[in-house]
């Protein structure tokens, strides 16, 4: 298989493992936003969040919770950002579902996203499309 993350899970490519259980694997991101930036992935290959079965997604988010607590407790992070870049247009580089856990500190310089406002009637139009 050509998936980089599947090769990491198989031990073909080295990683800095943070946590592992029977269905998930967590390791340090090689290009961290902040020190301790960790990726949590399912061991089974799924490209995005829509593909992964709900039971496995529950296991992944449980691992995110465990690793997040480890980051706060061990690294002294004041909090952390959990992020999923779902599909290439959203910034997903590796086509294997992965959740980023980014340790956060006051004034760390990490920005989330720009914020905007809905134009008059735009929110209602979007709600109609989503719920019809």
pLDDT digits (tens, 9 = 90+) for 30-61: 999 999 999 999 999 999 999 999 999 999 99
Spatial separation of the C-alpha atoms in residues 1 and 26, rounded to whole Å: 20
Spatial separation of the C-alpha atoms in residues 27 and 8, rounded to whole Å: 9
Per the residue annotation, which of 37, 96, 98, 100 is the catalytic one? 98
> In sequence order, which residues have a C-beta less than 8 Å from that of residue 26 and are 6 or more positions away?
17, 18, 19, 20, 38, 39, 40, 41, 63, 67, 101
Q: Which domains does the chain have, with CATH numbers?
A: 4-131 (3.30.428.10)
Band (pLDDT 50/70/90 cuts) for residue 109 is confident
Could you confirm whether 45 is annotated as catalytic?
no
- In this prediction, what percent of the chain has a pLDDT beyond 90? 87
CA nearest to 91, candidates 34, 35, 33: 33
CA nearest to 64, candidates 77, 82, 50: 82
Q: Average of pLDDT values for 16-20?
A: 97
Question: Is residue 40 classed exposed, middle or buried when 0-12, 13-18 and 19+ CB atoms within 10 A define those classes?
Answer: buried
pLDDT digits (tens, 9 = 90+) for 58-84: 999 999 999 999 999 999 999 999 999
Q: Is the predicted pLDDT of residue 90 greater than 70, yes or no?
A: yes
Please report the pLDDT score of residue 62 as a whole number: 98
Please report the pLDDT score of residue 39 as a whole number: 98
Using CA atoms, how far residue 91 sits from 29, 79, 83, 88, in Å, is 15, 23, 11, 5
Confidence (pTM): 0.91
Please report the pLDDT score of residue 114 as a whole number: 77
Q: Average of pLDDT values for 6-28?
A: 97
Please report the pLDDT score of residue 1 as a whole number: 59
């Amino acid at each position: 298989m050509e998936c980089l993350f599947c090769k990491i899970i198989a031990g073909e490519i080295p990683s800095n493992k943070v946590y592992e259980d029977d269905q998930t694997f967590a390791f340090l991101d090689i290009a961290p936003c902040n020190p301790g930036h960790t990726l949590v992935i399912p061991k089974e290959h799924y490209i995005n969040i829509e593909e992964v079965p709900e039971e496995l997604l529950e296991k992944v988010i449980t691992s995110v919770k465990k690793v997040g607590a480890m980051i706060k407790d061990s690294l002294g992070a004041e909090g952390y950002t959990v992020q999923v870049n779902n599909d290439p247009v959203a910034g997903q580089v590796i086509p294997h579902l992965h959740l980023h856990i980014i340790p956060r500190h006051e004034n760390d310089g990490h920005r989330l996203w720009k914020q905007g406002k809905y134009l008059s009637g735009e929110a209602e139009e979007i709600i109609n499309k989503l719920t019809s």
